Amino acid sequence: MSNSVDVKQETAALLDKLGVARDAWTGGDMVSYSPVSGEAIGQLKSVSAADTNAAIDAAHEAFQAWRLVPAPRRGELVRLLGEELRAAKADLGRLVSIEAGKITSEGLGEVQEMIDICDFAVGLSRQLYGLTIATERPGHRMMETWHPLGVVGIISAFNFPVAVWSWNAALALVAGDSIVWKPSEKTPLTALACQAILDKALARFGSDAPANLSTVLIGDRFIGEAMVDHPKVALVSATGSTRMGREVGPRLAKRFARAILELGGNNAGIVCPSADLDMALRAIAFGAMGTAGQRCTTLRRLFVHDSVYDQLVPRLKKAYESVSVGNPLETSALVGPLVDKAAFDGMQAALAAAKVEGGTVTGGARVVEAGKDTAFYVKPALVEMPKQAGPVLEETFAPILYVMKYSDFDAVLEEHNAVAAGLSSSIFTLNVQEAERFLAADGSDCGIANVNIGTSGAEIGGAFGGEKETGGGRESGSDAWKAYMRRATNTVNYSKALPLAQGVSFDI
Ligand code: UN1
């Protein structure tokens, strides 16, 4: 194709423009591939275990200085980061499309999510409030103070290669922490770009930001292991598979370090008899097919009431058959590539297993883009299942939507909650009793429960995360910042006596 994008050349131009030094991504041992074409786009140098430990020690020194900078001043750094991200939005969004395979609007949307969390964190830098608490003792005052925590280790996944870093980085920086980041091995170039953008903000900020406040460590899992085991890393925020979380969680617990775990999801939607089916159709299509099914919030299970099944599901199947799949750099297709061959193989294995359980599959076949047989594009799959069994109970990181019929609301709530993960969920209904029940204590057991919107695409203002095997961590908005700080309860005696609490007497 004469007018086709030269992915390698464009990557180089973007990295230059974003301020990433050439020697950081050429001539190294770790290869980054673009899922768009399957070709190698960077050779990065991976760090050694000794480099990693030294970087953590340096980050700890940075923390000791940064914690003394007033929080609103720390907010100024994040404000500048937001400004730099605004300026870099088109380039960084495009690089996300190249390295993670996202369609243009989702690549840009991810950078917008970074800008949003920066704005949120700037406001937060003047709102790191503690309570004043009534004491039982006369002449005393009790209060709580939030202090910076330490070095924050960030482990992120390929599917949100830049936004998840920013959720953690923006909060950690205003909280007074330093950060050390191990990006996914599949998306290291976007990580270098984020660091370069932060470096621009740091250069404008001035000398009260210490060196080594933020470090990107390129390499494989041993970096994550070093972070998890290093006594100077106070918190590890890890996004990835439940399998990864099972290793990270206990190791952190062993040394009593904090964890924010953002693991798998197996998110479901329920379509009730009163649902606005046009709206549900659009929400389901974006939730299940958007980002080629590679969000942790992707809609993977759909329960449809039998009274509306025959109105909704044939329309949904049509949407699956007609959805555009293609190169996100050259077309306006809605579905880009899977990240790699392993993702494609995993999808095919899940579809085969679904057939064994009696599933009927629409879509799911590979789409070979002209001249790009090293890339893995696929038609999203809709699978009608007689029951929730086999692969339906697992998260397969690909665009597969399992559709099931239901007739009883209590029973469907039980089925909804009968999976190991507990990230996101939604109900489509105009019936207030069903909607409120879904949100109630005996409703959805997920960290995110929505009414008449899909499972994915959360805004940064709310706390983001989920229960059960999703890991229980919360990032982003609301009071998620508290995980990045330590709380001290302070009792001050301004009286001339020493009354003891609980009426205890101890007179010497
Ligand atoms: C993820 O897939 O790891 O709610 C994060 C969403 C996005 C974040 C997804 N705001 O879909």
Query: Nearest C-alpha to atom 7 of ligand 1 is from which residue?
Result: 457
Minimum CA distance residue for ligand 1 atom 3 = 296
Q: Is residue 508 part of a domain?
A: no
CA-to-CA separations, 270 to 204, 331, 394, 470, in angstroms, rounded = 49, 33, 18, 20
Answer yes or no: is 464 within a domain: no
pLDDT of residue 1: 41
Query: Is residue 334 assigned to a domain?
Result: yes
Residue 297 CB less than 6 A away from ligand 1: yes
Instruction: Clarify whether residues 363 and 319 are in a common domain.
Output: yes
CB 455 within 8 A of CB 298: yes
pTM over 0.95: yes
190 lines ligand 1 (CB under 6 A): no
User: Does residue 4 surpass a pLDDT of 90?
Assistant: no
Residue 196 maps to a domain: yes
- 442 and 350 in one domain? yes
Question: Do 240 and 285 belong together in one domain?
Answer: no
Please give the Cα distance from 236 to 225 (Å, whole number).
Answer: 11
Amino acid letter at 440? A
Q: Is 465 in the pocket of ligand 1 (CB under 6 A)?
A: no
Helices 7-18 + 71-100 axis angle, to 10: 170
C-alpha closest to that of 107 among 33, 161, 36, 165 = 161
Q: Does ipTM top 0.95?
A: yes
Confidence of residue 2 (pLDDT cuts 50, 70, 90): very low
**Nearest ligand 1 atom, CA 113:** 10
Residues 249 and 353 grouped into a single domain:
no
Catalytic residues: 262
Q: Are residues 320 and 214 in the same domain?
A: no
pLDDT band, very low/low/confident/very high, at 371 (cuts 50, 70, 90): low
Residue 159: CB within 6 Å of ligand 1?
A: yes
Dist. CA 491 → ligand 1 center (Å): 41
- The CATH number of whichever domain residue 118 belongs to comes to 3.40.605.10
Per-residue pLDDT reduced to its tens digit, 71-93: 999 999 999 999 999 999 999 99
Query: What pLDDT, on the 0 to 100 scale, is given for residue 370?
Result: 64
State in Å, rounded, how far the first CA of the chain is from the last one.
92
For residue 78, the CA-to-ligand 1 centroid distance in Å is 21
Is residue 128 located within the same domain as residue 99?
yes
Range of the domain at 144: 7-263+471-489
Ligand 1 site, residue 294, Cβ cutoff 6 A: no
Q: Among 436, 458, 480, identify where a domain stops.
A: 458
Q: How many whole angstroms from 234 Cα to the centroid of ligand 1?
A: 25
Ligand 1 contacts CB of residue 422 (under 6 A): no
DSSP-derived letter for residue 210 is P
Mean pLDDT of 257-267: 97
CATH number at residue 432: 3.40.309.10
Token pair in block for residue 318: 């049509």
